[in-house]
Amino acid sequence: MASQTAKNGVNLGVGQVGATRSAQGWINGFLGMLIFSGSLPATRVAVQAFDPIFLTAMRATIAALLALSALLLMRQRWPRRADIIPLIFVAVGVVIGFPLLTALALQHTSSAHSLVYIGLLPLATACFGVLRGGERPRAAFWGFSLAGGLLVGAFALSQGSGGSWGGDALMVVAVLLCGLGYAEGAVLSRRLGGWQVISWALVIALPLAAAVAAWRAPATWTGVSAGAWFSLGYISLFSMWIGFIFWYRGLAQGGIAAVGQLQLLQPFFGLALAGLVLHETVQPAMIAVMAGVVVCVFGAKRFSR
């Protein structure tokens, strides 16, 4: 009897620890998503003044120098050889691929239109989480996740004035690369730590990023607005580094597929910023779609395990 009571106590304690860790994962994931919400509006401002290739390389270079300083100050060990390839996937997905493709897309479309595609990120992240992270959500999870993705996709396809097929195609590829980078980073974060993963990925990309930034640097800086400089600073410090510290920690704690559904909320916050800061038109239909997406997020969370 005493043995059974002790066993129940151990199980209860483990359950409480698991629930606490899951809750922390959702909090960290929400903070990361909130930071990422400003990425496309800020990129939209910056790309008006900077070449997209230079912008991508420069934001990675700035973030990588900060990350390298943090790694050296904290005396972090070099990654194991087995971690190098996954870190390269992270770098290709979120350090180079997603920033470059979105910057190119934003030359052809508004940030409000592009933000709708971010609603497809949770589905891409969940799929790569199954392939790379070994997660197995329940069938109902996929139903809610697919419903959220279809809501976002149907709305994007119905809007002709805010974008172009070229810009839309770039956003789709960007989302796929980002989903891969999120899943790979989350798996690595379980043993390396969230901030270490994005930091090492940035350091790996630093030689290439610095060389490209020097090559594509503007001939003159005259005429670059304060808003463009501020936007470059935001996407370099927050979008490229600090946001990932919270995001990867959240994915590792709460589950890649589950916490990844928070990305469905990112367009909602991004649209608000696009309307307030860039004075872009935010249609009532966008808000209606996002309301449906919120329902899908909570449904996916319920059946994520």
CA distances from 49 to 115, 294, 297 (A): 20, 35, 36
Largest CA distance in the chain: 80
Whether 59 contacts 198, CB under 8 Å: no
Query: Residue 200 above 70 pLDDT?
Result: yes
Quickly count: other Cβ atoms within 10 Å of residue 66's Cβ: 17
Residue 6 falls within a domain, yes or no?
A: no
pLDDT of amino acid 294:
74
**Taking a C-beta distance cutoff of 8 angstroms, is the pair 102, 24 a contact?**
no
Q: Look at residue 16 and tell me if it is in a domain.
A: no
Structure confidence at residue 156 (pLDDT): 61
Q: What is the mean pLDDT of residues 180-199?
A: 88
What mean pLDDT comes out for the span 242-256? 89
Which residue is listed with tokens 């503007």?
218
Under a CB-based contact definition with an 8 Å cutoff, are residues 297 and 262 in contact?
yes
Does residue 278 lie in a domain region?
yes
Assess if residue 3 is contained within a domain: no
Q: What is the token pair recorded at 82? A: 């087995």
Q: Is 230 within a domain?
A: yes
Q: Name 113's Cβ contacts closer than 8 Å, sequence gap at least 6.
A: 156, 159, 162, 163, 167
Tokens of 174: 């960007």
Start-to-end C-alpha separation, the chain: 31
pLDDT, position 10: 46
Range 204-208, long-range pairs (CB < 8 A, 24+ positions): 204/84, 204/87, 204/88, 204/91, 205/60, 205/64, 205/91, 205/95, 205/96, 206/60, 206/61, 206/64, 206/65, 206/68, 208/57, 208/96
Mean pLDDT of the chain: 82
Q: What is the DSSP letter of 80?
A: P
Instruction: Give residue 153's pLDDT.
Output: 67
Q: Please indicate whether residue 87 or residue 183 has the higher confidence score (pLDDT).
A: 87
Q: Using CA atoms, how far apart are residues 121 and 105, in angstroms rounded to an integer?
A: 16
pLDDT (0 to 100) of residue 173: 92
In terms of pLDDT, which residue wins out, 153 or 195? 195
> Phi, psi (5° rounding) for residue 221?
-100, 5
Tell me which DSSP letter residue 282 carries. Answer: -
Res. 70 pLDDT band, cuts 50 70 90? very high
pLDDT band at 12 (very low <50, low <70, confident <90, very high): very low
Residue 116 lies in a domain: yes
> Does residue 13 carry a pLDDT above 70?
no
pLDDT for the residue numbered 8:
53
Determine the average pLDDT of the residues in 2-16: 52
- How far apart are the C-alpha atoms of 274 and 153, rounded to whole Å? 19
Tell me how far apart the alpha carbons of residues 246 and 258 are, in angstroms, rounded to a whole number. 15
Greater confidence (12 vs 150) lies with 150
Q: Which two tokens stand for residue 226?
A: 């304060």
Q: Is the pLDDT of residue 76 over 80?
A: yes
| Full domain range(s) for residue 75 | 23-216+224-302
What average pLDDT does range 189-212 have in this prediction? 92
Alpha-carbon gap, residue 218 to 120, rounded angstroms: 34
Q: How far apart are CA 236 and CA 144, in angstroms?
A: 33
- Residue 7 domain flag: no
Predicted model pTM: 0.81
pLDDT at 270: 77
Angle, CA of 35, 287 and 181, to the nearest 5°: 35
172 by Cβ neighbours in 10 Å (0-12 / 13-18 / 19+) ranks as middle
Number of domains in the chain: 1
Q: In this structure, is residue 2 part of a structural domain?
A: no
